[in-house]
Chains A and B, each alone.
Chain A
């Protein structure tokens, strides 16, 4: 029991990481400042905007609402885990195709939320997709193109045939 540093070991994007951290260090700050991977963004630090979303043992969580010590022994996946060998992940390709990002600030959280959605809560309709990303704010796109990208990712057709 301690306010001083705790030794933690976890897997970040498949790589083992061992670090001593103060208990109050948030997982998102740990990733950005200690692990040196800055794809995960912070916006509100209140759980509201969703841009800090990462996967913890395969489930989406807010990295601004979890302390790094709590991820001890867990597998963390960030947006950097998506592309491999210089190849974009299918979701990233679809975001590009549908112009689903402008400034890109929300994008890491959107992608990680979408991964959880497609894997753990398979959407059956556009309404399910909009519901699935309701905790992620985007100030640029108006969501339309993000929804279009996720519709294609989920193999769904737009009901009115408008598509994107």
Chain B
């Protein structure tokens, strides 16, 4: 089977791209890395009338830093996060996550923003976006709006495209200095999309948990935070027993799917195990303050 016919355009500016999205008679879609969209086209699972190829917008391929955030342009590709000294210094969790993402040839094309739009429930970038409270700048011919990663991802099924809109830029908050972090995932083969993935951030002050964040992937329609578990940890003394207790809370909070990869029960089990592991590793990496 081959892709169905479509109208193709490759705009040279953001304005032209937004116009091409706005004035399409029917379904128009952005073509970014094509690493999720083209497989769907190849089996005719989607039949957009028009593809707006953003690959000529080379000025949108950037990772730039402000004091407390990393801005990611809509053409920043997975490969740009790989072995990147600045990423490894400021947001090493992203450098860890990209190692699990697909294979080199897919990373050479696929984009961070495309991954958020496709919104696979177990994909690495959506997990990072919810963990790090990403802000999304969404643009269309009728204006610009901001979304939080949690709101954007939870709202949308895969593939998660807002019709006629362009996710132009994502800003990710750099965790405070001294915050411990951890990311891990369980899959059958390296490079496969995870069955369950987990990520945590932890700050410790005066011997107690000052703040905790926990994000899980593969357990719901999209990656999500577990605020109930986070609240439970704040003010407590970090210990193996505390992480086990936190892990014990997780299964009851989830309604994961059963599919060919894993049953709901196995996913709950994995989610608990990975939760314990990410908190223990984040604790080991955290700088203790005021002790």
Contacts and interface: CB of A to CB of B under 8 A. Distances in A.
Contact of B34 (A2, A66, A135, A136): A66
A42 to B, nearest CB: 10
Nearest to B107: A135
Interface string A76-105: 000000000000000000000000000000
Given A60-B105, A135-B102, A65 B2 contact: no
A141 to B, nearest CB: 17
Interface string B62-78: 00000000000000000
Interface stretch (A9-17, A21-29, A145-153, A154-162): A21-29
A47 B8 contact: no
Contacts of A65: 34-35, 38-39, 109
B104 interface: yes
Interface in B25-60: 34-35, 38-39, 41-43, 50-51, 53, 55
A134 B103 contact: yes
Contacts, number: 96
Contacts of B189: 134
A2 B7 contact: yes
Contact of A121 (B6, B34, B104, B191): B104
B20 interface: yes
A29 B2 contact: yes
B283 to A, nearest CB: 27
B103 A3 contact: no
B104 A66 contact: no
A60 B3 CA distance: 22
Contacts of A108: none
A130 to B, nearest CB: 8
Contact of B42 (A6, A23, A46, A132): A46
A41 interface: no
B104 A113 contact: yes
B5 A3 contact: yes
Given A3-B6, A24-B4, A65-B34, 17 more contacts: A23-B8, A24-B2, A29-B2, A45-B39, A47-B38, A61-B108, A62-B106, A62-B109, A64-B42, A65-B35, A65-B39, A121-B83, A121-B104, A131-B190, A135-B105, A135-B106, A136-B103
27 contacts: A23-B5, A23-B8, A24-B3, A24-B5, A26-B2, A26-B3, A45-B42, A47-B35, A47-B39, A47-B106, A50-B105, A60-B108, A61-B109, A64-B42, A65-B38, A66-B34, A67-B34, A67-B38, A113-B104, A116-B104, A121-B82, A131-B190, A132-B104, A134-B103, A134-B190, A134-B191, A135-B102
Closest 3 CB pairs of A and B: A135-B103, A23-B8, A65-B38
